């Protein structure tokens, strides 16, 4: 990893010690000043023989309209908070050179680049899964999907609050309304990403940190369509924000167990978090409205419930999330019968 510190503009006027200090402070706050494209930190890593940035980051994005992500030719932008401050991270995949390159702007640039390998899935080890003996235990559908998708990797962000809030918003509602609420709240209460509109895309946002989420007034949750039960769960969880972030240093099962000690957070929410924060290869989103039915149909041709799904996946314990991700990429779609989950509107209540 190489670091590039921002340098003062050679055209800045001499304004004495106070003026110099003010200019330095302003540069630190806005390192991506107009016309300057030099990143504050950058890094480069060998790209795996098979790699897809879009597929790796797919679980991290809350839909195509997630304001914390943006497309870039040959790569993607992400904006997020770090212990050192906010950062805009641009990752590009250069197949001709077989490298992944990360450039970052903002006070948290160095932290963002340091976390990039795990976020890019480079620490995700599929060797045990791809061992012939293990592959031989898998259904043909899963083996064939793995063969067609050698680029699949699980990302680990290590950012618990960032993953927890939108996961709570997705509890017991449709994905459509949860993502709509998340977009509204991030745009209203997040902050522009470092360099947004200059080196980074206009509109790129950093989601609120724990303190900012706690300041969101009740009527804003209401306008976003978030019911009082979910907003109360967010508030309750984030009052222990510092402890939440320390869960990134624990194992995924330990982190999931700790999260479930918070009222309103169950197995489903904890799994949705650790899949993103820890690249947990085994966690299953038990309680999902569609998942058990889908897994049952994909593996047996018959729909099943959560208990049935867990029985079906038990032979591959340790890799159950990998199996589920591959089933999702297999092209199999379970037929849907009965009433669909409807979009709720809590704003008129």
What is the domain-level CATH number for residue 303? 1.10.340.30
Give the mean pLDDT of the chain.
88
Give the mean pLDDT of 163-187. Answer: 97
The span from the CA of 167 to the CA of 254, in Å, is 18
Q: What is the dihedral angle through the alpha carbons of 44, 192, 210, 24, rounded to the nearest 10 degrees?
A: 70
Based on the fold, state whether residues 92 and 202 are members of the same structural domain: no
Looking at residue 157, what is its pLDDT?
98
Give Cα separations from 349 to 168, 179, 225, 344 (angstroms): 20, 20, 10, 11
Give the mean pLDDT of 275-299. Answer: 97
Number of domains present in the structure of the chain: 2
Residue ranges making up the domain that contains 63: 2-124
- Of 174, 163, 173, the residue nearest 61 (C-alpha): 163
Based on the fold, state whether residues 325 and 196 are members of the same structural domain: yes
Based on the fold, state whether residues 220 and 116 are members of the same structural domain: no
CB count within 10 Å of CB 312 equals 19
298, part of any domain: yes
In this prediction, residue 29 has a pLDDT band, given cuts at 50, 70 and 90, of: very low
Q: Which backbone phi and psi does 45 adopt, to 5 degrees?
A: -135, 150
57, part of any domain: yes
Residue 186 has pLDDT above 50, yes or no: yes
176, part of any domain: yes
Based on the fold, state whether residues 120 and 226 are members of the same structural domain: no
221, part of any domain: yes
- Of 101, 104, 85, the residue nearest 93 (C-alpha): 101
Based on the fold, state whether residues 165 and 52 are members of the same structural domain: no
pLDDT (tens digit, 9 = 90+) per residue, 289-320? 899 999 999 999 999 999 999 999 999 999 99
pLDDT (tens digit, 9 = 90+) per residue, 107-123? 999 999 999 999 999 99
Produce one character per residue of 139-148: b if its CB has 16 or more CB atoms within 10 Å, e if not.
beebeebbee
Question: Cβ(142)–Cβ(323) under 8 Å?
Answer: yes
Q: How many CA atoms lie within 13 A of 7 on its CB side?
A: 7
């Amino acid at each position: 990893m190489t670091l590039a510190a921002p340098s003062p503009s050679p055209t800045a006027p001499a304004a004495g010690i106070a003026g110099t200090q003010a200019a330095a402070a302003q540069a630190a706050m806005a390192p991506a000043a107009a016309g300057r494209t030099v990143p504050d930190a950058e890094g480069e890593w060998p790209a795996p023989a098979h790699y897809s940035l879009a597929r790796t980051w797919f679980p991290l994005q809350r839909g195509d309209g997630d304001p914390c992500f943006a497309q870039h030719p040959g790569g993607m932008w992400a904006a997020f908070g770090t212990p050192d401050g906010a950062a805009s991270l641009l990752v590009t995949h250069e197949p001709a050179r077989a490298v992944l390159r990360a450039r970052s702007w903002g006070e948290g640039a160095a932290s963002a680049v340091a976390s990039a390998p795990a976020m890019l899935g480079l620490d995700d080890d599929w060797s045990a899964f791809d061992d012939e003996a293990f592959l031989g235990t898998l259904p043909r559908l899963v083996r064939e999907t793995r063969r067609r998708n050698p680029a699949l990797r699980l990302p680990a962000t290590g950012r618990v609050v960032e993953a927890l809030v939108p996961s709570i918003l997705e509890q017991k509602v449709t994905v459509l309304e949860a993502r709509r609420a998340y977009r509204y709240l991030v745009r209203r209460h997040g902050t522009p990403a470092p360099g947004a509109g200059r080196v980074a895309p206009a509109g790129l946002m950093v989601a609120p940190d724990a303190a900012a989420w706690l300041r969101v007034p009740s009527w804003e949750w209401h306008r976003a369509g978030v019911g009082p039960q979910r907003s109360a769960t967010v508030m309750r969880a984030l009052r222990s924000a510092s402890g939440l972030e320390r869960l990134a240093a624990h194992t995924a099962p330990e982190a999931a167990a700790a999260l479930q000690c918070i009222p309103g957070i169950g197995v489903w929410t904890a799994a949705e978090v650790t899949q993103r924060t820890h690249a947990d290869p085994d966690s299953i989103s038990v309680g999902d409205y569609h998942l058990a039915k889908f897994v049952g149909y994909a593996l047996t041709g018959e729909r099943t419930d959560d208990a049935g799904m867990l029985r079906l996946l038990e032979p591959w314990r340790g890799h159950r999330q990998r199996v589920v991700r591959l089933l999702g990429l297999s092209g199999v779609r379970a037929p849907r019968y009965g009433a669909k989950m409807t979009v709720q509107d809590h704003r008129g209540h």
